[in-house]
Amino acid sequence: MANFRVHVLGAAIPSALAAGLAVAGGLATPLVGGVCFGLGVLGGMLPDIDADSSVPTRIIFGAFAVAAAAAVVLALHDDLAPWLVALAAVAAFLLVRVGLRGFTAWLCVHRGLVHSLPFAALVGVAAVLVASRAFHLAPTPAWLAGVFLTGGFLVHLALDELFSVDLVGARIKRSFGTALKLGSRRQWFITAVLYAGVVALVTIAPSADPFVRDVTSRRTRAAIAATFAWLP
């Protein structure tokens, strides 16, 4: 299993290159390119939210807990005595930090279905939908956002598999085959739900045709070539 730093770097390097190409090719504004880079790195961390003690889990639940405590203070500070507000804020913090985290840990087995190809596709299509519906992005940048998130996710799965091969001893660890997988026969129902979810989201997402056309167009290649024309 690859560690946190390997995952962040492993996702950041290809994401930076791809975002640079997308901006050079005129597929994305520099702002969208920057967001895509961020999504690629996020995708590289995302699969390990199913690990109890992983760094992203600690960061994500820590942030949620602080936000919950702040929300409680904002909601109650007019009506209650300060010591009661403080008590409620501590309770909210603990509820999220310990309670919610324990619940997700119970729900997700590490290297379960979160570490799978259909889950990688699902988060990508979900990002396309959010980008187009909530942020009103055109189909091409919206799909670009989804491709970066799924791309980072896939890099994570590939790194997990790579690190389950013990290169020194040339042995294959037991975790091999638990990251890059199409699903799980034992959890066939959740696997089926994941695939159905991908299909459903693709149906309501904007068409990917403009994205494919733009990415493969001669104009995009020419724009990239022109950007790097000063290179020897």
The C-alpha angle with vertex 6 and arms to 162 and 124, in degrees rounded to 5, equals 80
Under rule CB under 5 A, how many of the chain's residues touch Zn ion? 3
- For 218, other C-beta atoms within 10 Å of its C-beta total 7
Closest separation in Å from C-beta 159 to Zn ion: 8
Pattern of binders to Zn ion over 157-196, x per CB under 5 A?
---x------------------------------------
Closest separation in Å from C-beta 71 to Zn ion: 31
Closest separation in Å from C-beta 14 to Zn ion: 17
Which residue of this chain has its Cβ atom nearest to Zn ion in the complex?
160
Closest separation in Å from C-beta 158 to Zn ion: 10
Stretch that binds Zn ion, among 94-102, 145-153, 156-164, 207-215 (CB under 5 A): 156-164
Pattern of binders to Zn ion over 10-49, x per CB under 5 A?
-------------------------------------xx-
| CA distance linking residue 154 with residue 138, whole number of Å | 24
- Contact call for residues 113 and 193 (beta carbons, < 8 A): no
By beta-carbon proximity to Zn ion, the closer residue of 47 and 139 is: 47
Told to check if 56 binds Zn ion by CB under 5 A, we report no
By beta-carbon proximity to Zn ion, the closer residue of 2 and 18 is: 2
Closest separation in Å from C-beta 30 to Zn ion: 31
By beta-carbon proximity to Zn ion, the closer residue of 160 and 214 is: 160
Applying CB under 5 A, the residues found at the interface with Zn ion are 47-48, 160
